[in-house]
Amino acid sequence: MSKKLKNIKAVNEMLLGEHKTQTKKVIAFDEKKVIKRDVGATWSDDKGQTWEQKNGYKVKVGKFAKLREELKSFPNCNKETCVCIEPSQVDLKMKAYHGMCLDCVVGMEHKMKLEGTYDEYERKKLLSNAEAWLKSAEIEKDIVKAGMKAKFINEDGSIEDWGEQNEEEVMARIEDGFTKFKENFIEKLKNGNAE
């Protein structure tokens, strides 16, 4: 029989439902039950492994699942009103500062404005930010001072001298200038005159 006739015969058998692929018998030892689970459902298999159903797939629940959930949570959020399920980048940034999602921070600050305590809260935040900035500025000041102690040797072997100033005088001027700036800056912030 030619290939064309075999194909025609196969198509006719398929249309009648008598083709070998349609009448093939399968012998199995076990009948596998397909269980449909809702998203969020957890179960244990016969080996003791715990699983959780996600949207379209399942995942193993490991030893550190509780720890991961705790790290993902926002500890200072109001549990009754917070609706942050999938945190955005801004929510994670607010978590680092406040331990809350952005919506809860906005709610907290709004409540403070209504109670009249927001100005004091803002002043404390500005002061703590300024102190952190001054710590990094002090490190940079120390780097400048260390750079001033360095000697520069020219190509001909002579040591470069930068003016008629004494090294100790320059170091003292840097230290005094930074200390005065720091005190004035903090004082302005405490008085609320910072601009």
Q: Are 40 and 53 in contact (CB under 8 A)?
A: yes
Q: Are 95 and 101 in contact (CB under 8 A)?
A: yes
Give, for 159, the enclosing helix (H) or strand (E).
strand 159-160
Beta 58-60 vs 152-153: how paired, if at all? Answer: unpaired
Q: Are 180 and 186 in contact (CB under 8 A)?
A: no
Contacts of 165 (CB under 8 A, 6+ apart): none
Q: Are 100 and 76 in contact (CB under 8 A)?
A: yes
Q: Give the SS3 label for residue 52.
A: strand
Is this prediction's pTM over 0.85?
no
Q: What is the pLDDT along the chain (195 residues), one digit of tens a residue?
A: 688 888 888 888 888 888 888 777 777 777 677 788 898 898 888 888 888 888 888 888 888 888 887 877 888 888 788 888 888 899 989 988 888 999 999 999 999 999 999 999 998 888 888 889 989 989 988 888 777 766 677 788 887 766 556 777 778 888 888 889 888 888 887 776 655
Half-sphere exposure of 31 (CA within 13 A, CB side): 0
